[in-house]
Structure 1
Amino acid sequence: KFDFVVASVHSNLKMDEDKATTRLIKAIENPYTTILGHPTGRLLLSRAGYPLDFKRVIDACAANGVVIEINANPLRLDLDWRWHRYAVEKGVLLSINPDAHRTEGLHDMQYGVLVAQKGGLQASNCLNAYALDAITTYFNKKKQG
């Protein structure tokens, strides 16, 4: 049994960079947040992501032990692959998640894996590539603070 929180923005997407960044950092600093989901809220070919200071967001994730999602939905693919190496350099784990709202969406994992490879992600820096006992240990440590 896993007990974790994915914090994702789904409203008020038209903030300026400072406000959007501050909003995400507030969520990241919440001790219950385990994973930051689709950080920019982008929908490829239809909605640009909101502007962010990615270094501040990633640095906040590093400081608070928050994982960043690579959303595998082909309409999102967010966190953008160009930020994967910076996150890894800062010690942030990434997690490839399908954003599946139905079982058919689980097949989208392949797109997330391809984007993660493009960004240079290795299994050692990808939470959901860990063995079950390692994932369980990670979540338990996060929950204990």
Structure 2
Amino acid sequence: GLQFVAPELREGLGEITLAANHKLETLITFADIKGALHNHSTWSDGVHSIQEMAIYCRDHLKLEYLGMSDHSKTAFYARGLTEQQIFGQHAEIDRLNSELAPFRIFKGIESDILYDGSLDYGNDVLRTFDFIVASIHSNLKMSEEKATERLIRAIENPYTTILGHPTGRLLLSRTGYAIDHKKVIDACAANGVVIEINANPLRLDLDWRWHRYAVEQGVMLSINPDAHRNEGFHDMEFGVLVARKGGLTPGNCLNCKTLEELELFLSSKKQQHV
């Protein structure tokens, strides 16, 4: 008989064949999420402190970890962090980790991808983070070729862990820059880079139509709230909904990993490339 096809998958994109061969896997649910990566605190343009966000994630959402990734220095409009501020933030995270254990806060940054595809800190600073989200925020008017080349250069940076909102789209207001999705996803596969599903309802970027291709290439996806306040963590529910539409399973989602699994993943990524 035919395997049950979840309503989200009913798009005529090969799901009937998969169901006939009993190849449909169990889709991700919100209960599978173990932590939240890519979030902004009062250090940059967020509303809540790191401590407030960590306690909210631990006590209200019952999560195991929180990844902080405030804006980097090029994003001056968002109070991006100078090198000096980064060291201050890391000291605060060390203190909070000893207070909140076994809950863990990971040291990250949302590093701007510059026009030439480089990240906006030197390697001596980049190596101090547990993980790095690389995103484009400026010079959005560019050809598909230029945008693709710019993203791939950032993906090839050994310090890049996650590619943030790949097209920069804002639904209903900004189309986003055109990219060659296959080339970008293939570059992530070649470099062990995770692609974000930005769960902000105005982004939902990487688009669901590309989730299956990414997974087929062996690329992990991460459902990231991009929270700027505690309420923003709940946007991961929207991220889960589009991830289900894209056919995502817990095994292909970075923040479905337990704390121990994520620690192992991040440390092996750092050792492998650096």
- Fold shared per TM-score above 0.5: yes
CA–CA distance in structure 2, aligned partners of residues 134 and 33 of structure 1: 19
Find the counterpart in structure 2 of residue 63 from structure 1. 190
Matched, 1:5 2:126: no
Letter of the 2:241 counterpart: L
From 216, 221, 231, the equivalent of 1:89 is: 216
Pairwise CA distance, 1:43:
0.1
Distance in 2 of aligned mates of 1:34 and 1:94? 11
Q: Choose which of 137, 148, 154 in structure 2 pairs with 1:27.
A: 154
**3-state DSSP of counterpart to 2:236:** helix
Q: Do residues 111 (structure 1) and 244 (structure 2) align?
A: no
Q: How much does 1:101 deviate?
A: 0.9
* Percent of aligned pairs sharing the same letter: 76
Give the partner amino acid of 1:81: W
Q: Deviations over 1:36-90 (max 9, x none)?
A: 0000000000000100000000000000000000000000000000000000000
The aligned amino acid for 1:96 is I
Q: Does 1:142 align with 2:269?
A: yes
Aligned-residue RMSD, C-alpha:
0.7
**AA of the residue aligned to 1:129:** C
Q: How does 1:34-45 map to 2 (within 5 A)?
A: 34-45=161-172
> How many residues align structurally?
145
Counterpart-to-counterpart distance in 2, 1:55 and 1:13:
20
Select the structure that is richer in helix. 1
1:47 and 2:168 aligned: no
Secondary structure (helix, strand or coil) at the match of 1:95 reads strand
Can you list the C-alpha shifts for 1:81-113, whole angstroms capped at 9, x where unaligned? Answer: 000000000000000000111111111010000
In 1, the alpha carbon distance for the partners of 2:188 and 2:250 equals 19
User: Deviation per CA, 1:11-32, whole angstroms, max 9, x where unpaired?
Assistant: 0001100000000000000000
- Gapped regions of structure 2 (runs ≥ 5): 1-104, 107-129
Say whether residues 1:131 and 2:131 are aligned partners. no
Q: Which residue of 1 aligns with 2:199?
A: 72
Comparing 1-10 and 60-69, the one that deviates more: 1-10
Letter in 1 for 2:262: I
CA distance in 2, matches of 1:86, 1:49: 20
Quote how far apart the aligned CAs of 1:131 are: 1.2
Runs of 4+ in 1 over 6 A off after TM superposition: none
Larger radius of gyration: 2
Q: Which runs of 5+ in 1 are unaligned?
A: none
2: distance between equivalents of 1:63 and 1:101?
Answer: 31
